[in-house]
A and B are shown apart, each in its own frame.
Chain A
Amino acid sequence: MRYPNDLPSPIQYLDASGALRHDLPANIDTKKLIRFYQTLVLIRIFDQKAVALQRTGQIGTYASCVGQEAIGVGIGEALKPTDIFVPYYRDVATQYLRGVALKETLLYWGGDERGNVYRGAAACDFPLCVPIATQVTHAAGIATAMKIRDQHDATLVTCGDGATSRGDFYESLNLAGVWQLPLVVVVNNNQWAISVPRTLQSAATTLADKAIAAGIEGIQVDGNDVCAVFDVVSYALRKARAGKGATLIEALSYRLGDHTTADDATRYRPVEEVNAAWQREPIRRLREYLHQQDHWNEAAEKKCLADCADTVQAAVDGYLATPPQAATDVLDYLFAELPMSLYGQRQQILDKAERLSLGGAHGKP
C-alpha cells in the first residue's frame, strides 16, 4: 500500500499563502475545515495562556506548541476512539481532541498527577512522555498487543526530530517493519531539539528516509497544512488497521517558541529564521483559504476568538479551583495494594503534611 495521491513530497494541499495546490481529499468538507480551524485557534489561545500562567508562577515549566498546532489537530481528527495515542509533550491539540480536558493539561504542567487521569477516547492512551523517544517502544508494544489480539485498530505515537537519533526510535521502526505492526510514528520535525538544529541531528536527507532501512513506508508532509496532515495520517491509520503495516510520517514544521518556558532561544537561533517561519505558520493559511471560499468572515472570526477565550478561561478557572490531592496520594497509587512495610512511611507523610500545614488550592506552586 502506498499513499494514493500522487503528489510531490512533502505532501501539501494548502500552501503558506492559503492557496490550494491540489484538490482537497474527498474526506475534507467545509464543515471539517471549519472545525480544524476552530481547534487550531483554540489551541493557540490555550498555549499563549499556559505560557502566561507559567510566567506568573501559576504552573511550572511548559512546552509551547506554537506553530505546530496543525500536526496535533490533523492527528486528533484522524484517530478513532478505538485507536491508541502515545503522546510526547507537544501534543496538547491531539490530546484535547481525544477528550483530555484543557484543565487536565494545566494540572499536568501545574505539577499534579491528576492531569494524567484521562477520559473519553483517551481513556487507554498513555500519559505524555518526557524521556525522549522511549515512548516509541511502548507504542510498538501496544501495536503488538493489537496484532496478537487480531484487533483492527492502530497505535499512533509522536516524537520530535531530536528523538529520531535515539536507539528506541530505530529499534521500534525496525520491529514495526519485521512484525508488520499496526503502528504510525509521526515525527514533529520542528527543526530544533532545544539548541541543536536538525542539520546536526542527522545527515539523512529527510527524517522520513529513516523508514527505508526498517522496510516501512516513510512520508514527508507539510506539518503546517492541517489538511495534508489529516489526510496522510488518516491513510496511515487505515493501512495499519487493515494489517498492511507501519508508516513513518515526518511532519515538517517549526518551533516558533522557546523550547520550553525554561529556555531562551535567542541565545542560539537567529530571529530572522523565526520571522521567516512565522510566514508559514498553520493558522493564517487556513483562514485565508476559508475567506477566499466565502466560508468565513469577520463576524465568524470574532465569535470564534471570543468562544475560544471563554473555553480557555473556564479551563484556567477550573484548574485554579482544583482542591489539593490527599498527601498520601504520593504513596497510595504505587502498588495495587500498599505493602505492610510502607505503612510507616504513610504515617510519616501524614505527620509531615500536618507539620508543614500543606493545603490550599492550585495556583501557588
Chain B
Amino acid sequence: MGSRESVAATNQTHIDKSENPAPMAATDITMVEAINLALARAMEQDENVVMLGEDIATNGGVFRATLGLKERFGYKRVMDTPLAEALIAGISVGMASQGLKPVAEIQFMGFMYAAIEHLVSHAARLRQRTRGRLHCPMVMRIPYGGGIHAPEHHSESMESMLAHVPGLRVVTASSPARAYGLLLAAIESPDPVIFLEPKRLYRISRQPVIDDGQALPLDVCFTLREGSDITLISWGAMIYETLQAADRLARENIHAEVIDVATLNPLDDDTILASIEKTGCCVVIEEAPKHCGFGAEISARIAEQGLYLLRAPVARVSGLDVPMPYFRQETLYMPDEGDIYQAVKKTLEQIT
C-alpha cells in the first residue's frame, strides 16, 4: 500500500511519476476500464484473488467491469453465483477466512441490503472476535449513485450505512487513476473493504492511468485543486459537479480548494482541517440524503476539532431526505453545480 507521503509528493494524483527512472506510459481510459485493469493486475499478481457475483463471469458484469477476466483467469477464479446477495457476502467471509482474497460484486447498491448482515456481523469483526486468529480480507465492489435515468432501486447512495460499521473500510473513487490505485489497495488490504464505484462516472471521460500496479493509500483525502477562499469537500460522483462549481467560481476570482474524501472509513480529518485552517469556511457536498449522511460526520469532526478555524457556518449540499425518486424527478433530488455554487456564495456572504 502507498503511504501518505507518496500521495503528497505526487500532488495527489496517480499520474505524475517524474521521479520514476523508467516511467511507464499513461493511457487515457474510462473509470470502468481502470477498474478492469486493476482487477486483472491483482489477479495476475496474487493467485488467491478470486471474483464472484451475478453476471460477472460470462457477461463480464452488467457494467463490463470484469470483462475478459473469466477468459483470462478461468471460471474457478471468476465465478457467476446463483442470484443471492446474502450468499455472495457470506461465502466471501468464508473464503477470505481461509486465505483467499474474494472480490465480490454486488450488481447495484440497491441490492446490497441482504448482504449487510454478513458485513456487519461477520466480515467487520472476524479479526477482532478471534483476537487475530482469523481475518477477512474480502473486497465488495458496489456500483452506486444516481443521475443515469435508471429504474427504481438502481440509483441509491447509501454509503453512510456502510461507513457507520466499525471494522469496515469504505472507499470510493472519483477518477480512473484513483479508481485503479484505490482498488488495488483495497485488494491488498488485510481488512474487509467496501469499494464503492460511482457508476455515473464509469464512462464520463477518459483520463490518464498508468498500469504499474501501484496502490494508493486507504486513509487519506486527495486535494484535487488548491485554493484559499473556501474548501469544498466531496467524494464519488459529486466530485464532478464540485469541480465544475470550482471552475465557475474561479472565473469570478473565488478560489476553492477541492478535497476528494475518497476513504470514508477511516476518515483523514487532518487534510480537511488543514484546508479549513487556510480557508476558514467550507461546503460539504454529497449525493446521499442529508439526514445522517456522511457529510454529517465530516461536519461534526470540523465542529469538534476546528470550530475556531471557521469564519462561517459549515454548509451542506446533499440529496433530499426522500427515497430516490423515479427518474422523471431525479434532477430535483440530485445536487447539481448550481446548488454548490449557491451554497458557496451564501457561505462567503456569511463570513465574519
Contacts and interface: CB of A to CB of B under 8 A. Distances in A.
Contacts of B339: 352
Interface string A109-128: 11111000000000000000
B326 interface: yes
A349 B321 CA distance: 11
Interface in B61-97: 62, 80, 82-87
Given A60-B151, A201-B82, A268-B58, A112 B320 contact: no
B80 A195 contact: yes
B311 to A, nearest CB: 24
Contact of A325 (B58, B80, B323, B329): B329
B125 to A, nearest CB: 22
B321 A61 contact: no
B82 A200 contact: yes
Nearest to A334: B322
Contacts of A162: 82-83
B322 to A, nearest CB: 5
B55 A349 contact: no
Which of the four size classes fits the interface of chain B?
35 or more
A30 interface: no
Given A113-B326, A165-B84, A365-B328, A131 B110 contact: yes
Interface in A28-85: 60-61
A111 B326 contact: yes
Interface in A185-218: 193-196, 200-202
A112 B151 CA distance: 10
Interface residues of A, number: 47
Contact of B149 (A111, A324, A355, A362): A111
* Residue from the set A131, A202, A353, A356 with the largest chain B CB neighbour count within 10 Å: A131
Contacts of B59: 194-195, 267-268
Nearest to B82: A165
Interface in B125-156: 149-154
B332 to A, nearest CB: 6
Interface in B301-338: 320-323, 325-333, 338
Contacts of B333: 330
A349 B82 contact: no
A349 B84 contact: no
A182 B330 CA distance: 39
* Residue from the set B55, B150, B154 with the largest chain A CB neighbour count within 10 Å: B55
A271 interface: no
18 contacts: A60-B150, A60-B327, A61-B151, A162-B82, A163-B83, A166-B86, A193-B54, A194-B59, A195-B80, A196-B80, A325-B328, A325-B329, A329-B329, A330-B332, A342-B321, A349-B332, A355-B338, A365-B327
Interface of B: 54-55, 58-60, 62, 80, 82-87, 110-111, 113-114, 149-154, 290, 320-323, 325-333, 338-339
Name the 7 nearest CB pairs between A and B, nearest first: A111-B327, A195-B59, A165-B82, A162-B83, A111-B328, A111-B326, A330-B325
